[in-house]
Amino acid sequence: MRMIFLGAPGCGKGTQASVLSEKKNIPQISTGDILRKAVADGTELGKKAKTIMESGDLVPDDIILGLIKERLEQKDCDNGYILDGFPRTLVQAESLDDMLGQEKPIDCAVYFEVDEKEIIKRLTSRRTCSQCGKIYNILTDDLSEDTACNVCGGKIIQRDDDSEETVKNRLVVYNEKTLPLKAFYEKQGKLKNIDGSQTIENVRADLESLF
């Protein structure tokens, strides 16, 4: 099963992809992870990406697609995979289809539907350990100003990209660039919708009922 998980930042697609990946024994693949590994491994594409990232520019589509192609050709993708956060634009989606061809096309795209007010609430409530990166939430975790991370003892902070202004800006970009993918995969008959506003357990149950 070759899948794409779509949805706004904070919709829970990463969490659900991680669980389904383990259950189905197929890899969860994100462009962020691929970029970091390629840079760390010093591959040719990784070196190009590193130079671009260090200059503060966005990594262009041709490099991202090249890295995705390399990753999907690895042995652990033979039985399927979950693309988490890719493609992000119609150009990337069309290029991905061209790259995969008719032999190994994407089987389905799962869209996690969550209201924008709920997205803003979720992300602005998120807190992160400054040392180990563990995620907390002020709505569900008992946190105070001096609460330390229960994993490493690090300071718990709100990341800049989880501020309300930044979250709203991210949603504007998402609605403009990524949301059109919903119609793209619906037209192909590959779109499956999930109510992402439910509890994690209920979303997981709905997701597992699809496959």
| Phi and psi angles of residue 127, each rounded to the nearest 5 degrees, phi first | -130, 155
Q: Please provide the DSSP assignment of 4-22 as one string.
A: EEE--TTSSHHHHHHHHHH
Residue 184 CB neighbour total at 10 angstroms: 17
- Measured in degrees and rounded to the nearest 5, phi and psi for residue 87 equal -75, 160
Q: If we measure between CA atoms, which residue out of 17, 178, 1 comes closest to residue 105?
A: 1
Catalytic residue among 159, 177, 182, 190: 159
Q: What distance in Å separates the CA atoms of residue 73 and residue 192, rounded to the nearest whole number? A: 26
Q: Phi first, then psi: what are they for 82, rounded to 5°?
A: -120, 115
Question: Is 170 noted as a catalytic residue in this protein?
Answer: yes
Other residues' Cβ atoms within 10 Å of the Cβ of residue 117: 8
Query: Is 126 annotated in the active site?
Result: yes
From 24, 36, 69, 88, the catalytic residue: 88
Q: Give catalytic status of residue 122 as yes or no.
A: no
Of 48, 71, 122, 126, the active-site residue reads 126
Output the six-digit token pair for 136.
């907390």
Q: Which of 48, 122, 127, 170 is catalytic?
A: 170
Active-site position among 13, 48, 71, 204: 13
204 belongs to the catalytic site: no
Which residues form the catalytic set? 13, 88, 126, 159, 170
